[in-house]
Structure 1
Amino acid sequence: IDFPLEYLTGISGKHGRWGSFPNLITSLKFHTNRTQYGPFGEGASGNPFSFITEGGVITGCHGRAGRYLDAIGVYIKPARSLSRLITVEQHPQLNVRNPGLLTQSAGPFPGCITGRAWDDGVFSAVKAVHVHVSSDMSVVSGVQFLYEKRDGCVVLSPLHGAPSEDIVKTFEIDGESEFLIGVDGFHGCVDGVKVIRSIRFVTNKGKYGPMGYEFGEYFCSITSMAITGKVVGFFGESSACLNAIGVHTEYF
């Protein structure tokens, strides 16, 4: 599926008895906003079922299975929620997503569209982070990342937000034994606009920060310390400062 320009909108198929099993999924077809894939299990008998959403996008599946697939259902959300991904800021050296990575995304925090969306994509590792802090506005004014690609080459992202004239924090990450596992911090409003007030970067070895001013509402991208993964990219929103930030995480 050519996401985000193409996305799942529905599933259909057949269910019924097969051998000694009273009710299985005997045929399955996937529908997108562009075309259909399948049916898989073509020619199978059974009772037809179909769920095609209008104005929505399928974001996940659930169901029941033993030796075979017994039942299937879907999670949906409005298709307009994809607009942030479709209109992200483009950069000639970025958006080089690595094939084969199993990644999940968390954020952006605080989750409201107040600035221009950006998405650096997915890389092998984050090598360095530059954080610009505005003491006058008490906000994180911008962030910039140095990424390593799978071929070992490094790419410096654009500065997301605005440069600071007084506070710039930089730290490097030892990619051999240290890697990012998440971010946390505080967000709030300045003149009615949601902004990142403070940010801290967490690795498997320690923490860098906080950088900024710790007041407002707390956010954290780490859902469980028991689940091992590393941050391989960032996305978010920015304007004259950093409005929101999220992470792409690769799980081992």
Structure 2
Amino acid sequence: MTSTKRSSLGRGLSALMADLQPVDAPAGSPGATLVPIEQVTPNPDQPRRIFDPAALNELAESIRSRGIIQPLIVRRHPDDGSLYQIVAGERRWRASQIAQLHELPVIIREFSDAEMLEVAIIENIQRADLNSIDEAASYRQLMTRFGHTQEKLAEALGKSRSHIANLLRLLTLPDQVQDWVREEKLTAGHARALVTAENPTQIARRIIDKDLSVREVEALMREKTQKPGKAAPKAEKDADTRALEGDLSATLKMRVQIKHVGTEGGQMTITYRDLDQLDRLCQILAGTA
């Protein structure tokens, strides 16, 4: 296990979540400190890279009229003790610059580099406007980089385990389909219906061109799984099998299908998109990944 994982797991996700709670306190409450805005610097590992200019301008107008309602969470800059690094609140910092504020209310916390990244990812997840693909990528980063399980994330973040598992399955879709979800050309419901498709990109283009609803896509997928001249399957896969397929797909980042044959055995199919994924799968199976 890497030192990053050891550091994070030693503190505990619940403890980090507790340190984020004061962000809901009023800016003038005890514990909040006013610091010059030029002494506040952004987090270089901020997982959120795109900030909508229109939304920032709207927030700046609110700050001009009402001030900053919630203080930023910061830590002392590791290389310059006179500066502060943003742990949570970069959007407010950017909007405050537009509003030409001279001081910012902050709450100072002690975070290691690993904890700072972890908290930044958590805050990113909690944003209401985060798209499903970026939310799923944040969950995967918390799991792969910091060793958290779906159960621990669900408990700490107040999400259901099925919500996290369903989103992680979206990361098995081709990059083009994921980009369309980010661009809001497809909804998360559309994307979920495409996870088990043989040709998700082709179907996704059809969804966009014909403006199909999620129900229409689900009906289309049922039609595609029914072979010509044969009756529809009498029963769908049981919930445990579907959950296992989803968990394996999220872990391998490839589409996994399980088909039971009789009562003793069956088949498991893993679909890879390119030779890089095939090479990664071989490494996993050989125990060298």
**TM-score, with structure 2 as normaliser:** 0.26
Max Rg structure: 2
Q: Which has the higher contact order (CA 8 A, sep 6+)?
A: 1
Q: Whose helix proportion is higher, 1 or 2? A: 2
Q: Whose strand proportion is higher, 1 or 2? A: 1
